[in-house]
Amino acid sequence: MAAVLERSFIEICGFERETQHRFRDVTVNLPGVSALPGGQKFPDSGGAFHYEESGKLLSVTSNRFIHWCTAGDSVQLVEQSLDTNLLNNAVRLQLSHCSVLPGGVVVQETLSNVIILVSTNQSVHRLVLPHPTRMYRSELVTELHMQSIFTDVGKLSLHEPSHSALIPSVLGQNGSPSTSTAWLSESGEAHYALASPAGGIRVVSLPPLGTQGSVSVVELKRSSMMQRLSGWMPSSIRGEQSPADLALSLAVREMEEDTFIFALCQDHKLRMWSIREQACLLEADMLDYMPSCRGLKRQSGTAHRLRVSSSLSGLCVGVYLSVPQRGQFTVLQLVATDNNRYSLDHISSLFTTQETLVDFSLTSTDIWAVWVDESNNTVVKYINFEHNTAGQWNQVFVQPAPEEEVHIGVDQDPRETYLDVIFSPLHFTSSAIVKALQIYRRGSQRIIDPSWDNLKKEVTVAVESELQSSVTEFEFSQEEYRQLQVEFWSKFYACCLQYQEVQSLPVGLSVSYSTGLVCLLKKGFVSFLLPCFAVDHLYLSSDEYLFSEEETPITEDPDLGRDLLQLVQCLRLVSDAVSGGMAYEMEKALEHLESPERAAELVLENLLSNDEENVIEDIQNKLQDIRNPMAAMMVLLREMDLETDSDVGVDGPVLPGLNLRISLSQQLGSSSAVSVVCQAVCHLAMTRTLFCRDLLILQKLYLRFGDNMFLGGGAQLLQLQQDLIPRSSNLLSSYYLLKHVSQSLASSVPIDIIDANLQHLTVLELSDAPTPSTNRAALSPQTVLELFYQTAARKLIISQIYSQQQSSSVLLWSHMISNVVILLAQLLWPSNSGFQFPECLMGNCQYTQLQEYVRLIGPWCQVNIGSCRFMLGQCYLANGEGHKALQCFQEAATEVEKEEFLIRLTGTEEEEAASTPRLQYYNKVLRLLEDVGLPELVIQLASLAITEAVSDINSQAALWTRIFKHHLDLGHNSEAYEALTQNPDSSMQQDCLRQLVVVLCERSQLQDLVQFSYVNLHDEVVGIIESRARGLDLLAHNYYELLYAFHINRHNFRKAGSVMFELGMRLGREVRTRLGLQKQVNCYLAALNCLRLIRPEYAWIVQPVSGAMYERPGASPKRNSDGDFSSEPVQRQVDILELKDLEKEYVVSRSRLTLAQHHPPSAAIAGSASAEEMVTLLVQTGLFDSALSICQTFKLNLTSVFEGLTFKCIKLQFGGEETQNEAWSWLAANQLSSVVNTKESSATDEAWQLLASYLDRYPSANARHHRCVISKLLSHGVPLPDWLIKSYKEVDAASLLRLYLNFDLLDAAAELVLEYVDALLGRGHQYFGIERPLSATSSSVWLPYTSIDQLLHTLSETQTNSSVYNKVRDKLEEYHKLVEQTTKRRLVTQ
């Protein structure tokens, strides 16, 4: 990898930040157990068990282990995995009235089970749990969460004899065992080796689970050995128990079909017992391996420890002897000789000055140990006991406790500062904060909701309430209140420190034999030891180690290595000289984007002015010992620079095998691993930030010393100033950015924001963008770095690691974790081309954090500039600052073809391959702005994009269409029209034009629509409006009126008239309602007006074809509307309509409307009725005026009108009152006589009067109208009114006579003949229309003799009419005489 590893390790705390109590309590109360009086108290202890296949990749138990912590009568057991989150993974065993012994928890596994053996001072316990491989049908687990083996621990009956047993008491023995160990035999028996308080070992055994049996006890005593070796020993001595036999530490190992128990006793001797032989096979005095041990044999050991380990050469025994002022580790190897005899070979003795050993672990090559010093600080070291001739222990840099004081700047709020520190993911466990809060509130309230956010509120309320309650004054100055805040918050902070210190006390150490994973077990959490990078090792090493080192793995050149170590020593001096205030000012300068070089100069000025201890002189002296400072600095800078040429984060080749890929998908994916990896990156960033800060200050100091410090003179100074200092400044800013990212908390995002963001990502077509985390609750609070690692980085890193190495099945902790940490740091490194981190922030809606990230890298990072601007634009969009977003998007456009993210953003659409990348980018951004709903910005950006599409007609057309659409949506009609006219694509232009027409019609903005000039688009507009008009509902849309207005506005009256006439036709055919008829009348009137406005020779229109023949958009050219093949088109004759034709249509339509108004049901049939049919309908309704108007217009016979009116008169004549009342409605609709009657008239009178007026108003040849009326009356037997007889006599008395004869009215006919003859004779001739009666000088007169002859003939046939017959005959004779006389006179005169 890019970074070089050192031999040292660094502690990374893996404490969970969950606040909920996760332990399930299981209490075991065995009968007969009671607390022992004055019982011995044992120190808290801890340990861990690593599964045998924890280092195997394709295993359910990979990176999985169980750790525990004992305290009094309780054992807390936690199963943990670095790959998946385990559910129900924590249990607390409460063993009532018992104390768990040191070494009293042992975990072993079989093929089917995990067995936990627990030893207490009064009882032994066995928990049999399912093995993880038996909990899943498949070896591969793809879920993010798995059930722990502790899931069903509550179902175990731990009180049963098969699980728990009391330790049988021995007569005469008092006290309890002091230590223990346990193991599981191959037959399944559980054995517990207990150190007897009087010396020796008692082995308590439980029978195999599921078999019958009782507890067995075996006593291992020194007398057994003595009898075998020397049978002559006196009985007084034989069997004697000595307190020196008391075992302080026990270990067990099965070998060669036997089990050996190793006991390190307080007489400093190591004894090995055989279970099979029940005898001590080996005894060795450990003081023999300790120099200067005079006097120690008389002292009893109290803190000796023993561990055993298997190695390639055999069984190794590690012994720790604790003596005053020092301690010693002795590593021995067990050697078997003949006759079942054993001996120990000395391998190594290692010395240490620490006294209080907590725990140590022995591996095949190393000793790992943890101590607590006088200040209660944790010390961890390890050493290779085989190849370390100098006895030099390797360092482990433990996590320092949080600072005792919090530095608060003058511009900072104390409350916010303390809250940030207390609730930082790096400093305090949640349980420490909860306990501190309970103590601070004196236990008055219980924390109901222990969520992290609620805990923050509870702390704030508690401290502020305490502050308020202590206040006695009503008024404070701002400074006084600030001091009070600092006082109370520092008090609570001190409580947190106290409980965090308790939580951080070490209780054990564990090393995995499979993976090399080293865990440091503490009371409140587990921390992990990670290999330290060489650069960090140099900076973190204590002075004693740093001054004793002579080489470094950073370089192979010994001279350069010495220079490097000297330079680091100078850096350490600078670091010690920088005060807390100066460090704070330097950090603030980085936060506020001030020049790091300038900030370093200010710190240096402060150092020079306050150098009371001559630190600068010491630094100068050391600098003079460095032969080539430039080379040393360049090595350091190169080693710290994480910039890489390889594509970090790009998926490697697909690994073979589905099982392997699935297993890799889980690697280091649990919340514990996420926390450890990200805290490791954070620690790396914090360390190197300080390293770069001190290096920059030292470089500035070099510049100040000038040529005095450089052998090369000015050239090296120039290189320092122009190359090294800028590189150091850049590295400082980069590591500060990593530090900020690793400590910045992620925000919780509402689901609606997530949905909106996903929609935006879909618009951008970022298919491989990370999806929002579904495991947000795993860590609370979660940093953005953890979010990134969880959702995106882990998969990339693991894939890259396993694509590069040969063997993929073995998991080695040091190799794996160091690679993961450095690769994650490289993914975050701003100078690398990868852009996954900002993408992840965007994908998870972390807009505030993303803005801060872009702000921090803005002034100095020259990589992914355009991509950062694009991301910043996304943030502005999410915050509703659209104009700022647009500015960022425009700035990003210049980098489209240069940066990988922008190339990927623009390269996802195949259909846009012909466009330039910048145009593709603009299209993506335009879609995004459209999706957000910012049309003004869309218009602005599209207008800019048009300037880029000078040679691309298709892109221009698409952009103009977009501009048109959004102008139209905004109601900018004129701008929309302007955009439409600019569109170079005719089809798109037509689409836009159609949309303009439709939208403006829907908005009723017809004035704008009509007044546009439509240059070169006139016919298209007309065609669009006509198409819309003919294809849509007439009453719901007003496209015909629009088209009419369009033509009127352009003085095209004939077209306007044609439009209105077509509308009228369709209304009559399709809208057969009163409203439709009303509109039809108006349409015909408008059409008439249009034609009257033009010259008569042009006053014509082409009659529109029937509605079915309109050319419908999208209609099939081969089939009709029913789907049948249409016949061959028929050549139709074009009909020309003139003004008179339109007038006729108008009259009919007006009559239809009149009919519908008086008789609404008739509207349905009147719409398509012809003129003749309309006359009939009108007559039936009583609208005689309208009927007569149609008859006159169309030159129709009026007979039907008169007959209809006559019939209504007859009905009124003989109808009742109801008929009279109904008649008034239709009578009112006709124009009655203007003669005012002085008396009240009835409806019948009015009807007769109307009939009379019509007969007068509409004369006809031969009085045809009178005749039809009289004929109608007579046919119904109605007596003829006098006025009718009188009027008809004046017109045609002969016809009247014939009518009388036709209806057998002989008396009336005879009377008429008599009167008619008298009129001829000169008596009343004016009543018959005779101008001059019979005389010699007048014109000739005549009589209807045929009719008179018929009358006489008829009268002569009946006796009853003889008198009438005689009168007529006499009158005719009289007439004939006069005619004869008159004739003669005329002849005479001639």
pLDDT in tens, 1031-1070: 888 877 778 888 899 899 989 999 998 999 988 888 888 8
- N-term to C-term CA, the chain: 157
Q: b or e along 934-972 (b: 16 or more beta carbons within 10 Å of the residue's beta carbon)?
A: bbebbbbbbeebbebbeebeebbbbbbbbbbbbbbeeeb
The answer to whether the beta carbons of residues 179 and 103 sit under 8 Å apart is yes
Mean pLDDT of 403-428: 87
Least confident of 50-59, 824-833, 848-857, 1175-1184: 1175-1184
Whether residue 1364 has pLDDT greater than 80: yes
In this predicted structure, what is the pLDDT of residue 449? 64
What local confidence, expressed as pLDDT, does residue 586 receive? 93
Q: In the predicted model, what is the mean pLDDT of residues 703-730? A: 81
Query: Which letter does DSSP use for residue 631 in this model?
Result: H
pLDDT confidence of residue 1157: 83
Around 116, how many Cα atoms within 13 Å sit in the side-chain half-sphere?
26
Asked whether residue 779 carries a pLDDT value surpassing 90, the answer given is no
pLDDT score at 1106? 57
What integer is the mean pLDDT of 603-619?
88
What confidence category does residue 1224 fall into, taking pLDDT thresholds of 50, 70 and 90?
confident
Which residues lie below 8 Å from residue 620, measured CB to CB, with a gap of 6+? 705, 709
Rounded-to-10 torsion of CA 1215, 1216, 1217, 1218? -80
Q: Over range 291-304, report the average pLDDT.
A: 74
Position 1237 scores a pLDDT of 53
Mean pLDDT score, 807-827 = 86
Mean pLDDT value of segment 898-925: 77
Does 1118 have pLDDT greater than 70? no
Q: Flag whether pLDDT at 1324 surpasses 50.
A: yes
What pLDDT band is residue 711 in, cutting at 50, 70 and 90?
Answer: low
pLDDT of residue 691: 96
> What pLDDT shows up at residue 235?
32
User: Residue 652 pLDDT > 70, yes or no?
Assistant: no
Q: Tell me, what's the pLDDT at 1340?
A: 64
**Radius of gyration of the chain from Cα atoms?**
58
Q: What local confidence, expressed as pLDDT, does residue 639 receive?
A: 93
Average pLDDT, the chain: 84
Q: Look at residue 389 and tell me whether its pLDDT is greater than 90.
A: no
pLDDT of residue 107: 97
At residue 180 the predicted structure's pLDDT band, cuts being 50, 70 and 90, is very high
Of 1106 and 872, which is predicted with more confidence?
Answer: 872
pLDDT of 524: 87
Report the alpha-carbon distance of residue 1258 to residue 296 in Å, rounded. Answer: 156
- DSSP string for 68-131: EEEETTEEEEEEEESSSEEET-EEEEEETT--EEEEEEEEEE-SSEEEEEEEESSEEEEEEEE-
Distance CA 579, CA 574 (A): 10
pLDDT at 105 exceeding the cut of 60: yes
What pLDDT is stored for residue 651 in this prediction?
54
Taking alpha carbons only, the member of 617, 937, 810, 577 closest to residue 63 is 810
Whole-prediction pTM value?
0.79
Q: What mean pLDDT do residues 516-542 have?
A: 93
pLDDT at 217 over 60: yes
What pLDDT sits at residue 1017?
A: 85
User: Tokens 């050149």 appear where?
Assistant: 557
**Residue 1246, pLDDT score:** 83
548 has a pLDDT exceeding 80: no
Q: Are residues 279 and 296 in contact, defined by beta-carbon separation less than 8 angstroms?
A: no
Residue 341 has pLDDT above 90, yes or no: no
Give me the residues paired with residue 406 across strands: none
Whether the pLDDT of residue 8 is over 80: the answer is yes
1142 vs 787 pLDDT, higher one: 787
Q: Chain-centre distance of CA 939, in angstroms? A: 27
Mean pLDDT of 198-207: 91
Tokens of 732: 């400082």
Helix (H) or strand (E) holding 449: none
Rounded to the nearest 5°, which phi and psi values hold at 862? -105, 15
pLDDT higher at 602 or 1105: 602
Q: Which positions ≥6 away from 1238 have C-beta within 8 Å?
A: none
> pLDDT by residue (tens digit) across 1066-1088?
888 888 888 888 888 999 899 99
Please return the burial class of 1141, using the count of CB atoms within 10 Å of its CB with bins 0-12, 13-18 and 19+.
Answer: middle
| pLDDT tops 70 at residue 16 | no
How is 1309-1320 classified by DSSP, letter by letter? HHHHHHHHHHHH
Residue 226 has pLDDT above 50, yes or no: no
Q: What is the pLDDT of residues 233-252, one digit of tens each?
A: 333 333 344 467 889 999 99
- Rounded to whole angstroms, the Cα distance separating 830 from 1323 reads 134
439 pLDDT tier (thresholds 50, 70, 90): confident
Looking at per-residue confidence, does 227 or 1372 come out higher? Answer: 1372
Q: Which long-range contacts (CB under 8 A, 24 or more apart) does 626-629 make?
A: 626/563, 626/566, 626/567, 626/570, 627/559, 627/563, 627/711, 628/559, 628/560, 628/563, 629/563, 629/567, 629/702, 629/709, 629/710, 629/716
Question: Residue range 39-44: average pLDDT?
Answer: 84
| Percent of residues, the chain, with pLDDT higher than 70 | 88
pLDDT score recorded for residue 911: 46
